[in-house]
Amino acid sequence: MRVWPGRTLLPYRTGVALHTGLRSHVELRVTESDTAVAMGTGRVPVLATPRLVALCEEATCTAVEDELPAGSTSVGKRVQFDHLVPVGVGGVVWAEATLDRIEGRRLSFTVSVMDRSGLVAAGKVSRVVVDRQAFLAHTR
């Protein structure tokens, strides 16, 4: 694997480099289908934690999707997440993801979710870059 400050070539491909600092953000207007009640994870009509995690994972995917080698994708490995504030139906939140570290095929992101009043949630998400066909060949 060749390494330059802030850049790492993926070991099984050449010519395509990911680099730390890649960022993305995605927005969500909370609907009834995004609530803990609808997702079966609580009895309150507020934005569900699993929906927040999915929004953060979407932001991590968006941050690197245009930089991955052809035939590759990233898959979730680990989520560390704190949901701090409830957001009701009609509220708008946005998730931001920043690629902080590259270790071989493993990508580590810092994620945060904000609304107009401030921080809603924050954490870390790890993803692994895989060859799509090889990965699918090993599904059960």
8-28 per-position pLDDT tens digit: 444 444 344 799 999 999 999
User: What value does the mean pLDDT take over residues 65-69?
Assistant: 93
51: CB partners within 8 A, 6+ apart = 28, 34, 35, 39
User: Can you tell me the mean pLDDT for 37-61?
Assistant: 98
What is the pLDDT of the chain when averaged over all its residues?
Answer: 91
Structure token digits, residue 41 = 């994870």
- Protein fold of 22-137: Thiol Ester Dehydrase; Chain A (3.10.129)
Name which residue leads in pLDDT, 54 or 5: 54
**pLDDT reported for residue 15:** 40
CA angle 132, 136, 137 (to 5 degrees): 115
User: What pLDDT score does 13 carry?
Assistant: 46
Render the chain in DSSP notation, one character per residue: --EETTEEE-TT-SS-EEETT-EEEEEEE--GGGBHHHHTS-SSSBB-HHHHHHHHHHHHHHHHTTTSPTTEEEEEEEEEEEE-S--BTT-EEEEEEEEEEEETTEEEEEEEEEETTEEEEEEEEEEEEEEHHHHHHT--
Q: What is the model's pLDDT at position 14?
A: 35
How do the domains of the chain map onto residue ranges? 22-137
Considering the entire predicted model, what is its pTM? 0.87
Confidence of residue 1 (pLDDT cuts 50, 70, 90): very low
Rounded distance, CA 78 to CA 127, Å? 7
Whole-number pLDDT of residue 93: 98
Contacts of 117 (CB under 8 A, 6+ apart): 85
Residues in the chain: 140
* The predicted structure's pLDDT at residue 17: 74
Q: Which residues contact 70 (CB under 8 A, 6 or more apart)?
A: none
